[in-house]
Amino acid sequence: MGKKQHQQDKLYLTTTEWKNIYGGHKDTTETRLTRAKFKRLPFTHCALSMLPFEDPVCTQEGVIFDLTHIIPYLKKYGINPVTGKKLDPKSLIHLKFGKDDKGGFRCPVTFRQFTPNSHIVTIRQTGNVYSMEAVQELNLKRNHLKDLLNDEPFQRKDIIPLQDPGDLDKFNLEKFYHIQYDLKTKAEIAAEKKAMEDPKFFLRRMNNETRETLAQLDRDYKAPEKSADEDLTADEINAAHYSQGKVAAGFTSTVMEPITRQKAAVLDADVVKYSRVKKNGYVRMVTNFGSL
Q: Are residues 184 and 123 in the same domain?
A: yes
Q: What is the mean pLDDT of each run of 10 residues along the chain (292 residues)?
A: 63 77 62 60 89 92 93 90 90 93 90 92 94 93 92 93 87 81 67 74 70 83 66 78 85 84 85 82 85 78
Residues 139 and 62 in one domain: yes
Range of the domain at 238: 230-275
Residues 186 and 256 in one domain: no
Domain C-terminal end among 151, 170, 195:
195
Query: 182 with 238, same domain?
Result: no
User: Does residue 21 form part of some domain?
Assistant: no
Residue 156 sits in the same domain as residue 80: yes
pLDDT at 163: 92
Question: 159 and 66, same structural domain?
Answer: yes
Q: Pick from 195, 217, 248: which residue ends a domain?
A: 195
Residues 101 and 145 reside in one and the same domain: yes
- Alpha-carbon distance of 277 to 262, in angstroms, equals 30
Within a domain: 220: no
Enclosing H/E stretch for 287: strand 286-287
Among residues 212, 176, 188, 202, which one has the least CA distance to residue 54?
A: 202
Measure the CA–CA gap between 63 and 82, rounded to whole angstroms: 8
Q: Is 92 in the same domain as 143?
A: yes
Query: What's the pLDDT score for residue 186?
Result: 64
| Total domains in the fold of the chain | 2
In a domain, 285, yes or no: no
Residue 118 and residue 181 in one domain: yes
| Model pLDDT, residue 227 | 62
Local structure of residue 141 (DSSP, 8 states): T
Does residue 78 sit in the same domain as residue 178? yes
Residue 179 and residue 129 share a domain: yes
Within-domain flag for 234: yes
Q: b/e map of 38-67 (b: 16 or more CB within 10 Å)?
A: eeebebbbbbbbebebeebbbbeebbbbbb
The answer to whether residue 85 is domain-embedded is: yes
Q: Is residue 172 part of a domain?
A: yes
Q: Which of 168, 195, 222 is the last residue of a domain?
A: 195
The answer to the question of residue 16 being in a domain is no
Q: Are residues 261 and 187 in the same domain?
A: no
